[in-house]
Structure formats: structure tokens, C-alpha cells
Amino acid sequence: MNPEGLAIDPRSVWRVVQRNGRVWWKYKVPSLVGNLGQPLLFLVAFGFGMSQHETVAGHTYLQFIAPGLAASAVMYSAAFEATYGSYTRLSTQSTFEGILMTPITLEELALGEVTWGAIKGLISGLVMIGVMPLFGLWPSPWVALLPPFLFVAGILFAALGLMMTALATNYDFFNYFVSLIITPLFLFSGIFFALDQLPYPTREILQFTPLTPVVEVSRMLCYGEPRPGWPLMAAAVTILALAATLLAARLLRRRLIK
């Protein structure tokens, strides 16, 4: 990950996370409202509006969509932090320039940004899981395995966001990312309908989108219904997260080191 052969110092990575966390803490309420507003509204509108009339895969519609909306909250929070948040620190505030004047390397900076995005994603996902009992949904004990998985998913989407930041020339650039990647993932990754009901080859294609395994594993663990293939899906998300983080660091290096 570090072309200069320097080892990554976890303490340096954590300093970047701490710096971002202190800034976020001052504005945590509006930040959480912004990240959680859409998933919560969908949970209320679609869940209560249709749960009495629809069942999907053996669950009421409310039960079906809730874990997927938690997964989408991770995606939105992590991706938005690593795009709009990271780009502000890169371009408008020149925070990255200041950090790189310290012993922190560019790779440690990139990993710190991705880690912070994943933490924000995890917070949003846990809040969504935490409010499920308010809607009469009670997760199984298997849900204890979900936070580490959601964190890894947050790494993936934060890394994708940081890749966009490394390529962006202005804030408008992120409209492509949101409109062409994030929104389609939200709509077509099995949150609102079961993918196995779709015709071939559509269902096969959608199975390979990065949010789909996150949604499926979240649903399995929330209700204690793990299928034999869920560890493979978790492993696939982990591999994608590592690859995306590596690419994000390289793109950021190309952007900052002239």
C-alpha cells in the first residue's frame, strides 16, 4: 500500500480518525439526521404502509426491509463522509496538506479517512438496528455478529467514496457517484424486493453488486436465519473492501503527490 516501503503506523491512522471525530462531535446531531433521515423515512413509509398487506420471503414487508435499510445507512454515511467530507478536507480546508506536513504518511492519511468513514457508517447502521424494536422488530442473538461486518462494509463504501474524492475536480463531480452508483445500489440490491423473484439474468447480475451481500447477510443475522453461503459473502465484502482501500490510497497519492 505504501510505495516507499514504509510500514503503516496504526497510531498515525488513529490520529486522523480522532481529528475527524472531534470535528464531527461538534455537529453530530445534524450529521446523524442527514445520514439517517432517508432510511428512517423509508422504514416508516414503506414498512407501515405495506407491512399489513405484503409478505416477502416469509417475513412481513416491514421485517424484510428493515435490515436492508440498516445496510443502506452504512453505505450512505460512509460514502458521503469519504466524498463530501474528505473533499472538503482536501480542497476547501487544506486539512490534508496540513496533516501531510506531520510524520503521518499519505497512506496513513488515506486509511484514516476510510476508517473514519467506516465508523460513521457503523454508527448509522447500529442506530437503525437499535430502533427496530420501536417498530415491533426484535433481532435475534445472531445480530451480535453484525457490527464487525457492517464496519467492513463501511470500509468498502468509504474507500469507494475516497476514490471519487481523488478524482473529483469540484463538488458537482459527486452527482455522478450518487446518481449512477449509490442510488442504483440503494434501489436494486434487494432492500425492497427479493432478488430471487427476478428473471434470469437480472437476478444474477444484481447478486454481484457490492451492497447486495451486505443486505443479505444483515437480513440473515438480524433474524437468526444464516444460510450456508453467508461466510463466503462476508469474505467477498472483505476482499472488495481491501482492494478498494488499496486503490483509493493509490489514487489519492496520484492526486496529491506531483
Q: Supply the pLDDT for residue 158.
A: 98
The residue to which cell 481529528 is assigned: 19
Assess contact for 79 and 124: CB atoms under 8 A: no
Q: Supply the pLDDT for residue 50.
A: 63
Count of CB atoms situated within 10 Å of the CB of 165: 27
> Partners of 55 in the beta sheet?
60
pLDDT in tens, the chain (258 residues): 444 445 899 999 999 999 999 998 888 777 777 767 777 787 777 766 665 567 777 888 888 999 999 999 999 999 999 999 999 999 999 999 999 999 999 999 999 999 999 999 999 999 899 988 888 888 999 999 999 999 999 999 999 999 999 999 999 999 999 999 999 999 999 998 888 888 888 888 998 999 999 999 999 999 998 888 889 999 999 999 999 999 999 999 999 986
Q: pTM higher than 0.85, yes or no?
A: yes
Assess contact for 42 and 69: CB atoms under 8 A: yes
Q: Supply the pLDDT for residue 9.
A: 92
- Rounded Cα distance, 139 and 144, in Å: 9
